[in-house]
Structures are given as structure tokens and as C-alpha cells.
Amino acid sequence: MSNTIKSINPYNQEVIARYTLNKKEEVFSKLEKADEVFKEWSQKDVSERAELLYNIGNILEERLEELSKLITLEMGKPISESKAEIKKCIYLCDFYAKNAEDFLADEIIETDAYESFISYDPLGVVLAVMPWNYPFWQVLRFAVPTLTAGNTALLKHASNVSGCALAIEEIFTEAGYPHGCFQTLLTNHDTIEEIIKDDKIKAVSLTGSEKAGKAIAKAAGENLKKTVLELGGNNACIVLEDADLDKHIDTIVKARMQNAGQSCIAAKRFIVTENIYDNFLEKFTKKVAALKQGDPLNMDTEIATLAREDLATDLQNQVEDAIKKGAKVVLGNRQNKAFFAPTILTNVTKDMAVFTEETFGPVAPIFKVKNLEEALQLATDSRFGLGTMLFTEDTEAAMHAISRIPDGAFFVNEMVKSDPRLPFGGTKASGYGRELSREGIHEFVNIKTVFINK
């Protein structure tokens, strides 16, 4: 097994950098350091820990161009989207800097005690296993609340964004966090599963595939470690006959095509009522066809490349499965190495992979249904439960549908997206636990009951 990994630009296949993997003893040394630093870090006042978040935000702002380019070079998203990702991380830091003290404050509970309250205490070392599709956002939305709560963190990032992983560690150090408070591990999954067994690891957070989630959950469960899992999604985008297409079509296109469709919460099944179907298909196809393709380093590029060639091949196989079973290609279905053209499919049925599986790329299967009831039945017919979006002018009817959607999120007249102010996570095969908001910072704390009598 090689002791090095390569970072490859998916747009032109050039090798950007090579990194030497940490030896197993180095990984355990970093774990030891994280546990040692926790003892001091956890005793700092929440306000002191939160204040450092402003430093992170300032560094991200100062290095916006450099860090955005690194994201684009390593995983291929358009530079405009990379900049938006960094800016979202800045907002995240600002949100928790202003709210963490309130989120972690003791909560007084009236009982028969002289005094009783809930105390939110940090757990210790938390391990994060993170994906490549949002290489800064996914990590920081874990790390910012987790560290601010008083934990320390170890990061196993996707190997193709190792440059981003090391840059994030450098940012925490530059921001004034104690050495060892946040560390990157350049290692393989076998070593990760091994360190999960160590008593110093108190919890694990993973964002990634269902397969990876099951492996990590099994290792953590066997060792009674808390986990938060944000896994795949197969989000439905319901478009009802009264939807204002002129107002919302850009949002609907973005819901599928942002980051070349490489998002867990992207719209992956378009369910459109029959009275608006033809109009929707015409407008949607026109907008998708007009997306500017090209070099991801150009600011006007809207669709560039997938992160790896094998991902494009997997997507091609899913599309070919649909075609064999009767789907019609309205647009696209063209692969060139890691590039996959934006693709629209009609005549789609429930036995196709594009319905039953997660499609991680710019492929939009469109289903025709009679009404809202049929749309809801189709939307909820999924192993996944990350989010559903519904477009309609009848928001009152949409409100009545909330209880019919078993997902972690339900967005009306907007694409499903993460926001620091709102909890984020899924149900069913999309995982469990929540990130962001008050709920996210409480995932990796000991919610301790304190009861005092004189």
C-alpha cells in the first residue's frame, strides 16, 4: 500500500500536490495530543473560546482568493461557488461567536431542589470524517460548534482535498487555538476505525456515503461512542400547477445544478403535476442548456467538472440504466473524463436507479403526476430522508403537507439548504443527529443534570 496520496485537478488531470500519509504511531500521537489539550481547553470560559471565532472569520476573509482557488483546483467546482463557500464559513463563525455563550449557558429548571439546572459540558476528543464536495463548509460546520463547546477535534478529510484539510488546520492554529486543539489526520480508513476503539475518542461525526456511515456507525457502536451521521439524499422537488415558474425557475435549476449536482441536499427527483408539466419542462430545459460550461477558474463558469472521473462514470451508468428501462434523454448525457454534461431525463419510472439511488451529479429525472396527493406519495417513496422542496402559490396547502414529509427538512418555494441558524440533518438512510444552530452545538456535549440541596 502506498504511503502517499495525490491531489489531482479534475478539470485537467494535473497533479497539484503529493502528501505523505501519517504513520499509525503519528496518528495515535495526535490523538494523545488532542486528549492532553482538551484538559486545558475545556476549562476555558465559553466567551474566550467563542472570541477566537472572529479570528477565523478574519483569516478566511483575508485569504478568500487563495482558499477559493485551492477548493476549485482540488475538487473542480466553479470559483464563484468556492468563494461563496468560504463566505458562508465566515457567516458560520460570526453566528456562533455571537450565540455560543447563550446556547451553552446553564439552564435553570424549577424542581424541589434548592437549585437544579442543566449543564452543557464538553465530551473530549471528537473525530470527524468529512467529504470533498464542500471541503471547507462541511468541516467548519462540524468544527466551529464542536470546538466552541470545549471539545478538541481530529479530522479525517477526503484524500482528494488534503490541501484543504491542512489549510484548515493551519487556520485554527493561526487564529490562536492551542496546538493540538484541531488536527488533520492523513491516513486510511482502517486506521480511523482502529482509533475509534481508543477510549480517548468520545464521539464521531461523519458526512459522506451510506456505506461509509454504516462502517463508522458499526465501529463506534461496538465501542459505545456517540455518532452524528449526515449521509446521502434523494431529495424530491415538487412543482405544483400553481407554481410561479418565472419567479422560481432559477432557484429550481440551482437546486439541481449547483456544485455540478454534487450535493447531498440537491434536488434529485423532480415531481411535476401534469397541468404545468410541459411548461416546466420547456423552461427548465432552456435554463439548464444555457448554463455556461468551462474552466472552473473562470468567474463566469457555472458548470465545470465532477470531482473525479470515477464519479462521472458511476453517473453515466445510472443514466444508461434509465435509458435501457425506457427513459428519454431531453438534454445532455455526455461524459468526458470527469466532466458530465447537465442531463434531463423524462419517461422516468420507479424501477430506475435515478429514482432509487442517489445521483451525485447534474442529472435531473422528471416525473409527471396528477396532483399534490400523488406527488407526496412519490416524494416520500424513498429510503432517504434528507429534505423535500415544494413550489406552489398555495402556502397554506403546503403547510398542511408538513406532517406528510418524514425528512429532516421541508422547504417551500426555496431549495433545501443549510443555514447556521437552523438545525440540519436527515432521517432514514440519510442519517441521524443534527448540525448547526443550538441543536448542533448540543450534539457533542454532556447534557448534565445538576441537583443541589442545602
HSE (side-chain half, CA atoms, 13 Å) at 329: 16
Residue-wise pLDDT tens digits, 376-408: 999 999 999 999 999 999 999 999 999 999 999
Q: Residue 374: is its pLDDT beyond 80?
A: yes
- When pLDDT is cut at 50, 70 and 90, the band that residue 344 belongs to is very high
HSE (side-chain half, CA atoms, 13 Å) at 171: 29
The burial class, CB within 10 Å (0-12 / 13-18 / 19+), for 51 is: middle
373 is catalytic: no
Return the CATH fold of 235-419: Aldehyde Dehydrogenase; Chain A, domain 2 (3.40.309)
Residue 279 C-alpha cell reads as 411548461
- Residue 305's contacts (CB-CB under 8 Å, 6 or more residues apart) are 10, 11, 76, 260, 296, 337, 338, 339
The DSSP H or E segment spanning 280 is: helix 274-289
Residue-wise pLDDT tens digits, 226-279: 999 999 999 999 999 999 999 999 999 999 999 999 999 999 999 999 999 999
Q: Residue 364: is its pLDDT beyond 60?
A: yes
Residue 405 C-alpha cell reads as 414529509
Residue 142 C-alpha cell reads as 462540524
The overall average pLDDT reported for the chain is 97
- Among 369, 365, 362, 357, smallest CA distance to 339 is for 362
- What is residue 235's three-state secondary structure? strand
pLDDT the model gives residue 165? 98
Cα three-residue angle 406-407-409, rounded to 5 degrees: 130
Residue 265 C-alpha cell reads as 441536499
pLDDT the model gives residue 345? 98
Residue-wise pLDDT tens digits, 71-99: 999 999 999 999 999 999 999 999 999 99
The DSSP H or E segment spanning 390 is: strand 388-391
- What is residue 27's three-state secondary structure? helix
- Stretch(es) of the chain classified as CATH 3.40.309.10: 235-419
- When pLDDT is cut at 50, 70 and 90, the band that residue 38 belongs to is very high
pLDDT the model gives residue 1? 56
- Among 49, 137, 60, smallest CA distance to 96 is for 49
Cα three-residue angle 334-337-338, rounded to 5 degrees: 90
Percent pLDDT > 90 in the chain is 99
For residue 82, which phi and psi values (nearest 5 degrees)? -65, -40
The mean pLDDT value for 414-434 works out to 98
Q: Residue 188: is its pLDDT beyond 70?
A: yes
pTM attached to this predicted model: 0.98
Residue-wise pLDDT tens digits, 100-150: 999 999 999 999 999 999 999 999 999 999 999 999 999 999 999 999 999
- Stretch(es) of the chain classified as CATH 3.40.605.10: 4-231+430-452
Whose cell is 426555496? That residue is 414
- Residue 310's contacts (CB-CB under 8 Å, 6 or more residues apart) are none
Distance CA 34, CA 100 (A): 22
- Residue 62's contacts (CB-CB under 8 Å, 6 or more residues apart) are none
- Per the residue annotation, which of 169, 230, 241, 302 is the catalytic one? 230
| CATH code for the domain defined by 4-231+430-452 | 3.40.605.10
Whose cell is 434523494? That residue is 234
Distance CA 417, CA 248 (A): 15
Contact 22, 192 (CB under 8 A): no
Whose cell is 484538559? That residue is 39
The DSSP H or E segment spanning 183 is: strand 182-184
- Among 207, 215, 53, 222, smallest CA distance to 137 is for 207
- When pLDDT is cut at 50, 70 and 90, the band that residue 2 belongs to is confident
The DSSP H or E segment spanning 345 is: strand 343-346
> Cα 252 to the chain's mean position, in Å?
19
